[in-house]
Amino acid sequence: MKIKVCGMKHPENINAVSQCEPDFMGFIFYKKSPRYVLDKTLVFAKEMNPNTKTVGVFVNSPISEVLEIVQEYNLNFVQLHGNESVDYAKKLYNAGVNLIKAFQVNKNFDWDKIKDYKPFVNYLLFDTATKSYGGSGLKFNWELLRNYKEEIPFFLSGGIEIDDAEMIKEIDLPQLFAIDINSKFETEPGVKNEELVNKMINTIRMKSKYQVNDKGFYGEYGGAFIPEMLYPNIKELQESYEEIIQSDSFQEELQALLKDYVGRPTPLYYSKRLSDHYKADIYLKREDLCHTGAHKINNALGQILLAKKRNKKRIIAETGAGQHGVATATACALMGLECVVYMGAKDIKRQAPNVARMKMLGASIVPVTSGSQTLKDATNEAIRDWINNPTDTHYLIGSVVGPHPYPDMVAKFQAVISKEIKNQIKENPTHIIACIGGGSNAIGAFYHFLEDEDVELIGIEAGGMGIDTPETAATLALGSQGVLHACMTTVLQTEDGQVIEPHSISAGLDYPGIGPQHAHLHKTKRVKYSNITDQEALDAAHFLSHMEGIIPALESSHALAYLEKMEIKPTDRIIINLSGRGDKDLETLTKTIKE
Amino acid sequence: MLQELFKNTKEPLLNIYFTAGYPQLNSMPEILEGLVNSGVDMVEIGMPYSDPLSDGPTIQNSSSIAIKNGITTDMIFDQLSKCPSNISKIMMGYYNAVYLYGVEKFCEKCKDNGVSGVILPDLPIDIYLKEYKGIFEKYGISNIFLITPETTESRIRYIDECSTSFIYAVSSSSTTGKGTGIQSAEGYLRRLKGMNLTNPLMVGFNISTKEDFDFASTYTAGGIIGSAFIKHIAGSKNLTQDTETFINSIREKK
Ligand SMILES: Cc1ncc(COP(=O)(O)O)c(C=O)c1O
């Protein structure tokens, strides 16, 4: 949806608001308006950022005057806000002026009268009916818009304020083209509060300061630091992924699979015994109940549908714990695609049950013996495979890492977790806690709460033997900024830029990098990051097994263990994202059963 | 310096890649001596990186040995400062090392140590243009970009516009040392030749013998050899001599 900021007047203010990149800026040429333009406004407007179109707003002015002003100030559009006739519009339109015709709507409005203007206008604008010509700061009943049956796209105007953003996003009229904001974003008539405007623009565009920008960055993190060999492939993916995954046919197919194949929505389980124990309300988001046993399947299915739409014949993936490998092998079996999974030799040993499952599902598993023989090196090998197979292969990355658009794309597929949570709660939780390897289950659990600043979001990294030892995978605690796996992020590395081999008992968290969005959420302090040691995670796994009869994955146990470390108030409502089940970890877990 | 080399040399140019710090930490002077003696035109000094995504097993291995040997970016410059200067030098590596070193400091050190070009395959052109072009120019360092058989014509022309010395034409869409054979690149190399680009082209990947080199040179200004040379010097007892033997097998001594 586009945004027009109307009633601009002062050059400094215009300059500041331009930074928010509205699509249109309106200048009022109606002498009776308190927002009537100044000469210097126009000189300035003439040199505006070409991405923002200028609109001159007129009320029953003589045509010659309008034409003169349009010429002199290079206005891109003229908005007719008075009782201008069809003939009037026709004359201007035929003189080459782009037109927006405004109508004042109330319940007696005659929608038929729009018809005659249709050939001569580019857009319509619906404003609240008043005695004068707009500017009332009042809203009309938007239900009335249902009477609009024409095809010409329209601007919605009249008293729109910041709190209307969500409601506006829910209006499902395809002709709704833009919103027009004005008086509710002002400190005085003609002076806009740029922060408020910015917030509105970001909410409407569904862009938040926490989400990826159009260059593929989250603040200074992200991007696509790829060799030229991958350029055509990634470029095409960057340009097409949003459109594909937003399309109705894609969503229909994906939602059906998530429901009937994965078993979504997963329960948000109120854990009575944990709640009693910790003296607060504790909920578990049961991603462990997904088909294949972890959240990874949400992303694997999303990407496999995307790969199919892009006619890819061969799927490659990296895996650490094997959960993503299993999810990918499952998705490939379902779609009849060839599947190759790269897995570190060390992980093949410690996650044997998942290796067996992948084989059962018909995937080929390539053991990776370079470097630390874990997730980082499996990812390297998968990327190398991709370089060698640039046209027919889709690289199905398992977390919110890698070059843009992967971090955003995977986040969007995992966002279903927090979307469901929102539907499952009456009141926002106080805390959401999730473990972080690359960060996909965490982003999924946080996604729809990022703008709800009252919810404390906590990401848990693997502390390994402790962050004061070299045997750790706590990237944000100890890392520095650098490029790993083709994105700028935080990395465990030497001063010279050599990546340090991490350690965690949990293969899925044993990674020396982190998704760029997390690096950004850390930097902006929106999410709090902490870490949990191998031992603490093991203890939490045993504890949950005994308390609730749920054996958690070692990864998820890191999030659970944080309950021991945080200060809990009786009024707290804490959600733990239980990202996966512990079947794959039984060998490690049973070794540590206390007799 | 690179520009003059291309202008003043009529023969096909030979560029040899080797990994700094390999096989031994201080092997660079011996290798360079052999390269200079045998009349190589350009050398590409590889800065080892722990996660070299564009490289196959040979260069992965030489890199990890070099890192184990203890090589650092500073040591590479230090070694270079003690080496013969009468040969064109290019530094090749991954962006992360240069980013951490500091791009400006890196370019300055390149200039001080007779390095005239840099190849960073994973530094995107738009970021280079926006953030670093000015710095590279300030120190007279040429940034060298890659093209591949999948690169579209319009992008090749764009890269040509952004280039200041030569374009690195990767002969196949692959990691290094794949050995798929240079012959299969004939159509691509012919197409490149026909484009009449402003900058000369050097072909890299899949060149390991005299035949490969001669083949690549019929379409371009010359060729780059990496993995084959690294393999050749593995376990060498006399680096200078073995280097010369290898080069003489590729091209008769000038
Ligand atoms: C159960 C489970 N949780 C968490 C993770 C960590 O990945 P991410 O941080 O992307 O959610 C994994 C990865 O293998 C996993 O299997």
Q: Record the pTM.
A: 0.81
- Three-state secondary-structure class, residue B128: helix
**Tell me, what's the pLDDT at A212?**
92
B117 lies in some domain: yes
- A252: which residues sit within 8 A by CB, 6+ positions away? none
**Tell me, what's the pLDDT at A207?**
65
Distance of residue B99 Cα from the nearest chain A Cα, in angstroms: 7
Q: B33 in the Ramachandran plot: left (φ > 0), alpha (ψ -120 to 50) or beta?
A: alpha
Distance of residue A67 Cα from the nearest chain B Cα, in angstroms: 40
Q: Which residue has the higher pLDDT, A489 or A198?
A: A489
Nearest to A193 by CA among A316, A405, A17, A398: A17
Tell me, what amino acid is at A265? Answer: P
- A566: which residues sit within 8 A by CB, 6+ positions away? A431, A458
Catalytic residue among A4, A192, A296, A312: A296
Write out the two tokens for A553: 């994955």
Q: Using the predicted structure, report yes or no on whether residue A462 has a pLDDT greater than 80.
A: yes
**Tell me, what's the pLDDT at A466?**
98
Say which range, A17-21, A216-220, A292-296, A509-513, has the weakest mean pLDDT: A17-21
Give me the residues paired with residue B213 across strands: none
Assigned CATH class of A2-205? alpha beta
Please report, for the domain that includes residue B102, its CATH number. Answer: 3.20.20.70
> From the CA of B95, how far away is ligand 1's center (Å)?
28
Q: Which residue has the higher pLDDT, A42 or A527?
A: A527
Using pLDDT thresholds of 50, 70 and 90, give the confidence band for residue A40: confident
d(CA A322, CA A343): 8
**3-state SS string for A317-383:** EEECCCHHHHHHHHHHHHHCCEEEEEEEHHHHHHCHHHHHHHHHCCCEEEEECCCCCCHHHHHHHHH
* Cβ–Cβ under 8 Å, residues A55 and A75: yes
Domain range enclosing B97: 13-250
Q: Chain A residue closest to B174 (CA)? A: A388
**Tell me, what's the pLDDT at B84?**
72
**Tell me, what's the pLDDT at A248?**
84
Question: Ligand 1: does its nearest atom lie under 6 Å from the Cβ of A437?
Answer: yes
With the most atoms of ligand 1 within 8 angstroms of its CB, the residue from A400, A414, A432, A435 to mutate is A435
**Tell me, what's the pLDDT at B253?**
65
Distance of residue B83 Cα from the nearest chain A Cα, in angstroms: 22
Using pLDDT thresholds of 50, 70 and 90, give the confidence band for residue A61: very high
pLDDT digits (tens, 9 = 90+) for A352-410: 999 999 999 999 999 999 888 999 999 999 999 999 998 899 999 999 999 999 999 99
The reply to whether residue B99 touches residue A482, judged by beta carbons under 8 angstroms, is yes
Question: Ligand 1: does its nearest atom lie under 6 Å from the Cβ of A559?
Answer: no
B4 lies in some domain: no
d(CA B19, CA B17): 7
The reply to whether residue A495 touches residue B100, judged by beta carbons under 8 angstroms, is yes
Q: Using the predicted structure, report yes or no on whether residue A232 has a pLDDT greater than 60.
A: yes
Question: Ligand 1: does its nearest atom lie under 6 Å from the Cβ of A280?
Answer: no
**Chain A residues close to B73, C-beta within 8 Å:** 496-497
Query: Does the active-site annotation cover A579?
Result: yes
Nearest to A321 by CA among A346, A289, A287, A301: A346
Same fold, A261-290+409-590 and A293-404: yes
* Cβ–Cβ under 8 Å, residues A501 and A491: no
Burial annotation B12-29 (CB, 10 A radius, 16+ → b, else e): bbbbbbbbbbbbebebbe
Number of domains in chain B: 1
Question: Ligand 1: does its nearest atom lie under 6 Å from the Cβ of A438?
Answer: yes
- Give the mean pLDDT of chain A: 94
pLDDT digits (tens, 9 = 90+) for A99-150: 999 999 999 999 999 999 999 999 999 999 988 887 778 899 999 999 999 9
Q: Give all strands (DSSP E) within A189-337, no chain letters.
A: 191-192, 217-218, 221-222, 268-270, 281-286, 314-319
* Cβ–Cβ under 8 Å, residues A544 and A579: no
B3 lies in some domain: no
pLDDT along chain B (254 residues), means of 10: 91 97 97 95 97 96 97 98 88 98 98 97 96 97 97 97 97 90 94 97 96 96 97 96 97 72
> From the CA of B134, how far away is ligand 1's center (Å)?
42
Query: Does the active-site annotation cover A296?
Result: yes
**Chain A residues close to B67, C-beta within 8 Å:** 498
Domain edges within chain A: 2-205, 261-290+409-590, 293-404
Query: Quick one: average pLDDT of A282-295?
Result: 98
ipTM: 0.96
- Three-state secondary-structure class, residue A222: strand
Q: Using the predicted structure, report yes or no on whether residue A522 has a pLDDT greater than 60.
A: yes
The reply to whether residue B53 touches residue A499, judged by beta carbons under 8 angstroms, is no
Q: Chain A residue closest to B55 (CA)? A: A384
Q: Whose CA is nearest to atom 15 of ligand 1?
A: A508
Tell me the fold of A293-404. Answer: Rossmann fold (3.40.50)
B182 lies in some domain: yes
Catalytic residue among B55, B212, B242, B244: B55
Q: Does domain A261-290+409-590 have CATH number 3.40.50.1100?
A: yes
Interface list for chain B against chain A, based on CB atoms closer than 8 Å: 49-51, 53-56, 60, 64, 67, 72-73, 94-97, 99-101, 121-124, 127, 145-148, 150-152, 155, 170, 173-175, 178
